[in-house]
Amino acid sequence: MKTPPVLEELSEASLEASMQRRAEIPPTVLIERTERWRDRDGCFGRALAAEGMSVIAEYKQASPSEGSIRDATPETIAELYAPAAAISVLTEKSRFGGSLENLAALRELTDLPLLRKDFITHPYQLLEAKAAGADAALLIASKLDTPELQLLREYAEAFGLDALVEVHDREDLDRAVRASAKIIGINNRDLRAKGLPTNTVVTGRLLDAVPQDVIVVTESGFGLDPDSRQQLRKYNARGVDAVLIGTELMRSHDPTAAIELLKKLGCSRSTAGNRFH
């Protein structure tokens, strides 16, 4: 398994920053801090499994592919993203302009489940997430082999974090399944290819191979246009539980209305869930 260069760069930067913090704040201190949030254990997965199409609204101020997107405070995000099922918070600083401080501030402003979206390769980063008030953490299958992925997933769950395991191709998906992932995010963006191209049909290609008892999230490439909404409606009917949208919501003049519109795309559980047609 060869890690894509962009993932290698971002993972190294994220790990270096975390290890610098670890020199100042030992794991024992963070473990104590996690106790404040243990009554929230499992809330991210429960929110995604709710009736209809769940919307994970992403808080990111920049990205490697888009550059600067929008300068927004946690207070603004808490208000604009209020109708969402959950909020994804980019905490990587060097390329996304995020921080754990933003996540911690948002935790004090909303009761919505929060996902720490970063390039996590070390258990300390999961402790940081829970101590800051996150309810879930992103694990990227193309960066981690199966034993690493399973270890980090189990470590996350031991401290009350749901693990969103991100995949892009069948190899990633097989690794996630072997690691007993309970929530799988299908990233339509190819982090291995030049220019990081995005194609939303990736979700459709992989969906049939996802175990039926796994919560499925589709990520990247969806907007608010009619074509995107129609495709999301079809994916939800086939068993996709949630969509994660970042750039389009951050740039929207009315993110609240956009989230409400997306929520209306969902099918009832009596008609959804057939991934094999």
220 catalytic residue (yes or no): yes
- Is residue 187 flagged as an active site residue? yes
Is 130 assigned a catalytic role? no
Of these residues, 102, 188, 220, 236, which one is catalytic?
220
Of the residues 88, 166, 228, 248, only one is catalytic, namely: 166
Q: What are the contacts of 188-196 at 24+ separation with CB within 8 A?
A: 188/218, 188/219, 188/220, 188/221, 189/65, 189/219, 189/220, 189/221, 191/4, 191/6, 191/7, 191/142, 192/4, 192/142, 192/168, 195/65, 196/6, 196/64, 196/65
Catalytic residue among 102, 187, 228, 236: 187
Sign of CA dihedral 243, 246, 251, 256: positive
Active-site annotation holder among 219, 228, 236, 248: 219
Catalytic: which of 117, 142, 228, 236? Answer: 117
Report which of 244, 137, 117, 260 is spatially closest to residue 188, judged by C-alpha positions. Answer: 244
Which of these is catalytic: 60, 92, 188, 248? 60
Closest CA to 218 of 177, 173, 186, 174: 186
Catalytic residue, from 18, 58, 130, 236: name it: 58
The yes-or-no answer on residue 60 being catalytic is yes
Contact residues for 8 (Cβ-Cβ < 8 A; gap 6+): 143
> In the annotation, is 188 catalytic?
no
Q: What residues act catalytically? A: 58, 60, 117, 166, 187, 219-220
